[in-house]
Amino acid sequence: MTPTFAARRPSRRLLATLVAVAAGIAWALPGAVHAQAKGEIKIAHVYSKSGPLEAYGKQTQTGFMMGLDYATNGTMMVAGKKLVVIEKDDQGKPDVGKSLLSAAYGDDKVDIAVGPSSSGVALALLPVAEEYKKILLVEPAVADSITGDKWNKYIFRTGRNSSQDAISNAVAQDKAGTSIATLAQDYAFGRDGVKAFRESIKKAKIVHEEYLPTTTTDFTAGAQRIIDKLKDLPGRKVIWIIWAGGGGNPFKIADLDLKRYNIEIVTGGNIMPAMVAYKQFPGMEGATYYYFGIPKNPVNEWLVANHYKTYKTPPDFFTAGGMSAAIAVVEALKKTAGDTNTEKLIKTMEGMSFETPKGKMTFRKEDHQAMQSMYHFKIKVDPAFAWGVPELVREIKPEEMDVPIRNKR
């Protein structure tokens, strides 16, 4: 039996419903997409997932994710918005980092960026942040010029700078009658570090600066030049090493029988694998940014306990920095109620204080450098640890360090 037309025809009620649904979809889809976009805060993390500073980068990423977890109480939400982290591997190459940050701001539409590991890469990223008018929170690149003469208003830094390193290390080394030679890598990190150290030394005398390529594995020639400058001098004689990343081990210069000339090796803090070499120098004094056993505060207690729980090891040097950066981001977003408008964030972050594994940090208004404590240490050899253990001599508080403002603001 052939069905009648009436049987095949949809009812007027059904037609009206279908039209209404179609109209609703046409209206709702753009709004839904917009609502979804409005419900996310995108953060790019540009760091050395590979390359010479891979170990630093991976620690920073671990700390950053742990910091977001801590600061959001495990929700990864701020003001009802989901935090989305997009990782970018700059490989320690300035041109790669610059391209990746441009893509993050331009294509991924990230609201804020964090990183990188290398000072050389950081200097390439600064103008990109200015071009896109988006915040770049620098962690852990150290060179003074990042918040100095290369700075722009979109740059903030939770990591310490070369001046903070230098001033705190001068506390340990700046003694009358001491002659110092420096051994550093020939790029922004090394040169800015030595420059700041030289400016911080008031009583001792710097007699030689030795710069070697970052790829150096044989330190014999450079060490010999240093020895020739120091060996015949009276008083205490010191080689201050400022070195970052994998590759060669500058502490191998200790094999050149420095004791024959009464020459000491001194340095600042580092990651724990690098501090294995410190066991050769019990009693060595210096200053460090972080060592998990030093700061006594609730944030560090949480970090240490949860890092042990998850990774069966203590958090390292750059893990604390990554966590500090994450806490800074979340605290700023909480204060703006999730508003990612750049100008509003800048206004909020200038002068902002926040609690980190190192205690309180404060972004200085003039250059957005985080003012923070450093730690004067003395190396102790403990059979329980594979590395030389930095024991606290004293905390050097931010107000004790006259950290120069080096930008042109």
Q: What is the dihedral of CA 47, 52, 56, 60, to 10 degrees?
A: 10
* Mean pLDDT (whole number) for 94-111: 98
Q: Is the pLDDT of residue 395 over 60?
A: yes
Taking each helix axis from N to C end, the angle separating 94-106 and 119-132, rounded to the nearest 10 degrees, works out to 30
Give domain 41-160+293-372's CATH number out of 3.40.50.2300, 1.10.287.3610, 3.30.930.10, 1.25.40.340.
Answer: 3.40.50.2300
Angle (nearest 5°) at CA 352 between 346 and 356: 120
| Separation of alpha carbons 343 and 8, rounded Å | 61
Higher pLDDT, 172 or 72: 72
Q: Is the pLDDT of residue 22 over 60?
A: no
Structure-token pair, residue 115: 């990183």
Q: Is the pLDDT of residue 28 over 80?
A: no
Looking from the CA of 81 toward its CB, the CA atoms found within 13 Å total 24
The pTM score is 0.87
With contact defined as beta carbons under 8 Å apart, do 113 and 144 qualify?
no
Q: Is the pLDDT of residue 314 over 90?
A: yes
pLDDT tens digit string along 248-288? 899 999 999 899 999 999 999 999 999 999 999 999 999 99
| Tally of CB atoms within 10 A around 17 | 12
Helix/strand/coil for 78: strand
pLDDT in the model for residue 98: 98
pLDDT tens digit string along 209-234? 999 999 999 999 999 999 999 999 99
Give the CATH number of domain 163-288: 3.40.50.2300
Tell me the residue type at 364: R
Please state the three-class secondary structure of 322-340 as a single string: HHHHHHHHHHHHHHCCCCC
Structure-token pair, residue 93: 């190459």
Please state the three-class secondary structure of 351-395 as a single string: CCEEEECCEEEEECCCCCEEECCEEEEEEECCCCCCCCEEEEEEE
Q: Is the pLDDT of residue 61 over 70?
A: yes
Tell me the residue type at 275: M
Q: Is the pLDDT of residue 4 over 90?
A: no
Share of the chain above pLDDT 70, in %: 90
pLDDT in the model for residue 15: 40
* Mean pLDDT (whole number) for 289-301: 98
pLDDT, the chain, mean: 91
> In degrees rounded to 5, what are phi and psi of residue 247?
90, -135
Higher pLDDT, 16 or 394: 394
pLDDT in the model for residue 245: 82
pLDDT in the model for residue 202: 95
Q: Is the pLDDT of residue 29 over 90?
A: no
Q: Is the pLDDT of residue 3 over 60?
A: no
Q: Is the pLDDT of residue 246 over 80?
A: no
Helix or strand run (H / E) with residue 101: helix 94-106
Structure-token pair, residue 407: 């930008």
| Residue the block writes with tokens 């990612």 | 340
Q: Is the pLDDT of residue 107 over 70?
A: yes
Q: Is the pLDDT of residue 340 over 60?
A: yes
Helix/strand/coil for 312: coil
| Tally of CB atoms within 10 A around 205 | 12
| CA pseudo-torsion sign 86, 331, 158, 247 | negative
Tell me if the bond preceding 314 is cis, omega within 30° of 0.
no
Residue 259, judged by CB atoms within 10 A of its CB (0-12, 13-18, 19+), counts as exposed
Angle (nearest 5°) at CA 39 between 37 and 44: 70
* Mean pLDDT (whole number) for 100-128: 98
> In degrees rounded to 5, what are phi and psi of residue 374?
-125, 170
| Separation of alpha carbons 155 and 113, rounded Å | 10
Cα 137 versus chain centre, distance: 9
Using 50, 70 and 90 to split pLDDT, how confident is the model at 201? Answer: very high
pLDDT in the model for residue 247: 73
CA-nearest of 280, 373, 255 to 320 is 373
pLDDT in the model for residue 38: 61
State the chain's maximal CA–CA distance in angstroms. Answer: 118
| Residue the block writes with tokens 């200015």 | 130
In the chain, list all ranges with CATH 3.40.50.2300.
41-160+293-372, 163-288
With contact defined as beta carbons under 8 Å apart, do 184 and 243 qualify?
yes
Taking each helix axis from N to C end, the angle separating 162-173 and 188-200, rounded to the nearest 10 degrees, works out to 50
pLDDT tens digit string along 146-192? 999 999 999 999 999 999 999 999 988 999 999 999 999 999 999 99
What number of residues does the chain have?
Answer: 409
pLDDT in the model for residue 328: 98
pLDDT in the model for residue 8: 36
Helix or strand run (H / E) with residue 225: helix 220-230
